[in-house]
A and B are shown apart, each in its own frame.
Chain A
Amino acid sequence: AQKITQTQPGMFVQEKEAVTLDCTYDTSDQSYGLFWYKQPSSGEMIFLIYQGSYDEQNATEGRYSLNFQKARKSANLVISASQLGDSAMYFCAMRVSNDYKLSFGAGTTVTVRA
């Protein structure tokens, strides 16, 4: 079974600074995908970024980048130039091989301070 670990329950970051959210995963599959989702206080789940296990470059989407270290089994999310609207809970998730199910971590709450 796949396991996702997010060890930071909560983080504070100053507006305009960068923040890194940790995610480690455990799987015996060689083919897998890693996802990050954002959940603002309004409750909806928003897909942010994806990294495939065979992708050679780290994924980037605007201010979001994924620091993928395959040997360490980590897929950390970096949010650059934090904005007040980035205050939310962030979830790391994983899918393996041709299985479409996602396994989620417990989440990290980010609070951006003005």
Chain B
Amino acid sequence: NAGVTQTPKFQVLKTGQSMTLQCAQDMNHNSMYWYRQDPGMGLRLIYYSASEGTTDKGEVPNGYNVSRLNKREFSLRLESAAPSQTSVYFCASSATDTGPYEQYFGPGTRLTVT
């Protein structure tokens, strides 16, 4: 039981390049989330998927797109990376049928855009 997995763990991009961050969970959770973590700002929600087939914007969606590929997988795409997107990205998942709906997090992806 791996929980939430993310790939890659580290990535360096040049400005304007694109990439996709992959996330998968094996806990049969309905909801999945993408956050970014910047120093002094806690975690901020980029996008989330309340259930398979739905996605919604979070607090900081600009410059990102997401795909809920199936119940297990939720990917985050940067179409044209910018230095402001240098951050640590976390994927998380949670149940929606039994409380308290705590979120389980992946190990994170450290992204640097030069």
| Chain B residues, CB < 8 A from A9 | 40
| Contacting residues of chain A (28-63) with chain B, CB-CB under 8 angstroms | 33, 35, 37, 43-45, 47, 50, 52
Within the assembled complex, what's the spacing in Å between the Cα atoms of A96 and B107? 26
Q: Distance (Å) between the CB of B64 and the closest chain A CB?
A: 16
| Of the residues B48, B88, B100, B105, contact of A52 by C-beta under 8 Å | B100
Within the assembled complex, what's the spacing in Å between the Cα atoms of A44 and B101? 18
Interface 9-residue window, one of A64-72, A75-83, A101-109? A101-109
Whether B43 and A104, one on each chain, are in contact in the complex, defined by CB atoms closer than 8 angstroms, is yes
Nearest A-chain residue to B3, judged by Cβ: A44
| Chain A residues, CB < 8 A from B104 | 47
| Chain B residues, CB < 8 A from A37 | 105
Q: Distance (Å) between the CB of A96 and the closest chain B CB?
A: 11
Whether A91 and B43, one on each chain, are in contact in the complex, defined by CB atoms closer than 8 angstroms, is yes
What are the interface flags for B77-114 relative to A under an 8 Å C-beta threshold, 1 for contact and 0 otherwise?
Answer: 00000000000101010101001111111011000000
Within the assembled complex, what's the spacing in Å between the Cα atoms of A91 and B33? 17
Whether B58 and A101, one on each chain, are in contact in the complex, defined by CB atoms closer than 8 angstroms, is yes
Whether B45 and A102, one on each chain, are in contact in the complex, defined by CB atoms closer than 8 angstroms, is yes
Whether A95 and B101, one on each chain, are in contact in the complex, defined by CB atoms closer than 8 angstroms, is yes
| Of the residues B41, B45, B94, B105, contact of A44 by C-beta under 8 Å | B105
Q: Can you list 11 contacts pairing A with B, beta carbon distance less than 8 Å?
A: A4-B42, A9-B40, A45-B105, A47-B102, A91-B42, A93-B43, A100-B101, A101-B33, A102-B103, A106-B42, A107-B42
